[in-house]
Structure 1
Amino acid sequence: SAHLGYVGICGFEGLALAWLIGVLVPDFTGPTLYTSVGVPVRLLDLAVIIGGALFFTAINYFGARESARVQVAVTVGKVALSFGFVAFGFAGGTPVNLEPGFLPAEASWHGVLAVLVMVPAWFCGFNALPQALGEARERPSARALAGLLGMVILLTTLFYVAVITATAFAAPRGVLDGAELPVVAAMEAVAGPWGGRIVLVAGVVALLSAWNAAMFAASRLLYALARDGALPSALAHVHPKNGTPANAVLFVGVIALLGGLVGRAFIEPLVQIGALGFAVAFIGACLSSLALRRGAGGGTAAGGFPVAAAWVGALALAGVAIYSAWTILADAGERLPEAAALALWAGLGAAMWAFARARRPRVS
């Protein structure tokens, strides 16, 4: 499930990156090469997707240190640009734009739920940390690691809240509702056209950061599954010089590239299917924590978390996963890309399970 999420995010990053660069430099999008679900795929789209896939595959193939250097650079740039946007949004906006603060009683909750089912995908970055620690020379203590994870989740939440609030603060709701990119429209309302371009640049940097992290985590997760016998052993091959799971990196790079070639029409399907995969994976993490604690007594699950917290997390995520799957299956005729991706995921999962059971009868 987590692997599906990471690969889906890799495909999304390439598509979204090509989209934002096309908005930044509309005169350089090039000719239309083909269409996908009625949406044109242009030369610039393919150049960004193929170039990005090759670049991130290469840096993850040649070593975790190279990947980390790129990650630090783009993260610093992303944070700096994001702080600038939040500051401009609050300085140039007005609290009047926040009204109404809550939905009217007769309003539908469909929009809120539609965003809720995608939340797991936006919180997928922090759980790349365990994979990174597997290649670290020095590892932090369990207490330090728990504190670091908690801090990452808290800061991520505050970041999203700040960006959303600054966007709503900066421009009237009518302006945001009619905009293709609401955050860009909000920045243009308070800082002019150049403000919108700064937001687009920040978006490009953020996508580069997320693409690199997803590529790193997906390849290491694939390697771990192969090492434990759940996937073909060839994917557990470690490069003798670079010390990286070379075959797993190449495999993820190819799959992510193919996912990016399907075109911009698949941006939302990739996010929704990826979010569903992460929700199921997070449920598995909660239940695994409880299973490891079973029979040991006490009030904490594995990792020191309260049993009640693990159950609450599992049940909440189960609700998100069920609603996400239902929205895909209920409108399968109108949402063919999501339904097809879900069916493919289920088929691949069943095949992987059968492969693992054949090699390791006690796999769970």
Structure 2
Amino acid sequence: MTQEKRVVLEKSISPVGVLALAIGSIIGWGSFILPGTMMEQSGPVGAAIGITLGGLAMLVIAKSYGYMVQKVPVSGGEFAYAYNGFGRYHAYICGWFLTLGYLSIVPLNATALSLLAKFVAPDVFARGYLYTIAGSEIYAGEVGLASAAIMIFGYLNYRGSKAVTNVQVYMVGLLVAAVFLIAGGAGFTDISSFTHLTPGFNPEVPAIAGVVGILAIAPFLFVGFDTIPQAAEEYDFPPARANLLIMVSIIVGGLMYILVLLATGVVFPWQELIEAKHVWPTGYAMQAAIGKVGIWFLVIAISMGICTGINGFYMATSRLLFSMGRAKVLPAWFIGVDEKSGVPKNAVLFTAALALMAPWFGRNVIIWVVDMAALGTAFGYMYTCFGAYRETKKADGAEVEIPIKSTTALMGALVSFGVLLLLCVPGSPGFMAEESWYACGIWVMMGGLFYLSQAKKYSSLTDGELDYLILDKSRDVSGDDLVSYRELRN
């Protein structure tokens, strides 16, 4: 049977680069803004317990990711895992939701730079008022700042995977160093005391309810470790090592969240800090503890968290789009790869183009979309874990370097399903806002219309052809049909 040649990406990403992508994607703006809200909901100890339990739950889910990377070491991550376990139509559903989930986080991080600027230099970028949309005032200066960040990291991603990961390593190094300096500075100043963390739980909220409230949002705090499987095709190391990298990224991410949380709580009695209704409790605490130096450490940490998030999700989005294009779910244009850099250039350009549109709609609209797109993340978790469960039941299920038990995969699937319920069941802590449901409806309708436009081509492919294109499983084809972008171009 004659099949078209399969375009592949070059192996150029090191373990350190992969780990930096994941940690940088996990630790973002929210790490430094949420401590006040978390303590108000649960108290410092309750919040730390909630984060820890959330991290443990994510480690269970992550075991299935580490297993599936070994089984299916290709670009596309959850899209490929959904196809491997449940077929083409499930793959499309998972890929469609996940695309928006990854893509929307790029402008969300970029617009966070404007929020940081309001704290540091309030009059610099809030200039050139344009209009108000959904409660967000749109200024030309802030749109320009967000757009500049999107274009800079778009250019970086266009240059090549090595450029992306090298810069990511340096930025994550600065991020982690700044967090430890903040925690150390706050913990050992004269005004700080660990007695300020008492009572450990909010006395106005039942302890279990407070912990569950943090646990409900914890899965979304750790979004970013799943950027690791998106680049699996480009590893310059054995795929089995991804298992450890995923685990380490979640542990480091959880540690960073807890350090910033406790650093905020030890400076003043946490209840007094919350009652004072400071706009930014963490910033106020750091300024009181360390002075302006503390604020600048925070600025460095937040800036790096924002930039590493943009960078990491640029790569994740472009690789997902590339994989879907290779499967013919998206037009063939998405598999265009640059001759010099070896990256899916068209997917990078598409990501940049859509991300550049988002700041013009304001941050509130972006947040609605991101909240809705969390469904895509939940779908990705669920398909990966259920897919891993089915894979472990096969005769060759243990034929990987680091296998998992079927019960572990099933536990991860049930936790993932619980995350989905938190988003969808009215009254749950994570239930999406009304506006997010409207956005979800629009995206579902768009997905249906888009599928109809591609259905004939997608359905005409045989299972063997899709196995080859998505999973790199050659059936009735010779090894000569697997080519790099340079060979295809020539």
Alpha-carbon distance in structure 2 between the residues aligned to 1:71 and 1:201: 14
Q: Deviations over 1:83-104 (max 9, x none)?
A: 1111122223212221221344
Are residue 338 (structure 1) and residue 446 (structure 2) matched? no
TM-score by length of 2: 0.66
2:149 to 52, 58, 69: 52
Q: Deviations over 1:273-323 (max 9, x none)?
A: 343321221111101112223343878999612212211111122122222
Q: Is the CA contact (8 Å cut-off) linking 2:130 and 2:139 kept in structure 1?
A: yes
Q: Is the CA contact (8 Å cut-off) linking 1:176 and 1:186 kept in structure 2?
A: no
After TM superposition, the structure 1 = structure 2 runs for residues 241-252 of structure 1, keeping only pairs within 5 Å, are 241-252=340-351
User: Any idea what SS the aligned residue of 1:33 has?
Assistant: strand
TM-score by length of 1: 0.87
User: Using a 3 Å threshold, how does the CA distance of structure 1 residues 109 and 45 change in structure 2: closer, same or farther?
Assistant: farther
User: Any idea what SS the aligned residue of 1:41 has?
Assistant: strand
Alpha-carbon distance in structure 1 between the residues aligned to 2:141 and 2:282: 23
2:285 to 175, 179, 186: 186
After TM superposition, the structure 1 = structure 2 runs for residues 1-364 of structure 1, keeping only pairs within 5 Å, are 1-29=97-125, 30-92=127-189, 93-104=192-203, 106-107=205-206, 115-136=214-235, 138-142=236-240, 144-173=241-270, 174-176=272-274, 178-266=277-365, 268-296=367-395, 304-326=403-425, 335-351=433-449, 354=452, 357-361=455-459
C-alpha displacement of 1:148: 2.1
User: Using a 3 Å threshold, how does the CA distance of structure 1 residues 84 and 303 change in structure 2: closer, same or farther?
Assistant: same
User: Any idea what SS the aligned residue of 1:27 has?
Assistant: coil
Provide the alpha-carbon RMSD of the alignment.
3.1
Alpha-carbon distance in structure 1 between the residues aligned to 2:430 and 2:173: 41
Alpha-carbon distance in structure 2 between the residues aligned to 1:113 and 1:254: 39
Q: Is the CA contact (8 Å cut-off) linking 1:118 and 1:272 kept in structure 2?
A: no
- Specify which structure has the bigger relative contact order, considering alpha-carbon pairs within 8 angstroms and separated by 6 or more residues: 2
Q: Deviations over 1:249-276 (max 9, x none)?
A: 1111122222232213245434423433
| Percent identity between the two aligned chains | 27
Alpha-carbon distance in structure 2 between the residues aligned to 1:343 and 1:110: 31
Q: Is the CA contact (8 Å cut-off) linking 1:300 and 1:307 kept in structure 2?
A: no
C-alpha displacement of 1:350: 3.5
C-alpha displacement of 1:105: 7.4
C-alpha displacement of 1:221: 0.9
Letter in 2 for 1:146: N
Q: Deviations over 1:218-250 (max 9, x none)?
A: 111110111122222211111233221111111
User: Using a 3 Å threshold, how does the CA distance of structure 1 residues 112 and 344 change in structure 2: closer, same or farther?
Assistant: farther
User: Any idea what SS the aligned residue of 1:125 has?
Assistant: coil
Letter in 2 for 1:201: I
User: Using a 3 Å threshold, how does the CA distance of structure 1 residues 44 and 284 change in structure 2: closer, same or farther?
Assistant: same
Q: Is the CA contact (8 Å cut-off) linking 1:39 and 1:265 kept in structure 2?
A: yes
Alpha-carbon distance in structure 2 between the residues aligned to 1:352 and 1:65: 34
User: Using a 3 Å threshold, how does the CA distance of structure 1 residues 358 and 244 change in structure 2: closer, same or farther?
Assistant: same
Letter in 1 for 2:184: A
Q: Give structure 2 stretches of 5+ with no counterpart.
A: 1-96, 468-490
Alpha-carbon distance in structure 2 between the residues aligned to 1:72 and 1:106: 41
Structure with the greater alpha carbon radius of gyration: 2
Q: What does residue 472 of structure 2 align with?
A: none
Alpha-carbon distance in structure 2 between the residues aligned to 1:115 and 1:260: 29
Q: Give structure 1 stretches of 5+ with no counterpart.
A: none
Q: Is the CA contact (8 Å cut-off) linking 2:106 and 2:313 kept in structure 1?
A: yes
User: Using a 3 Å threshold, how does the CA distance of structure 1 residues 8 and 260 change in structure 2: closer, same or farther?
Assistant: same
User: Any idea what SS the aligned residue of 1:54 has?
Assistant: helix
Alpha-carbon distance in structure 1 between the residues aligned to 2:256 and 2:399: 30
Alpha-carbon distance in structure 2 between the residues aligned to 1:43 and 1:160: 33
Residue correspondences, number: 361
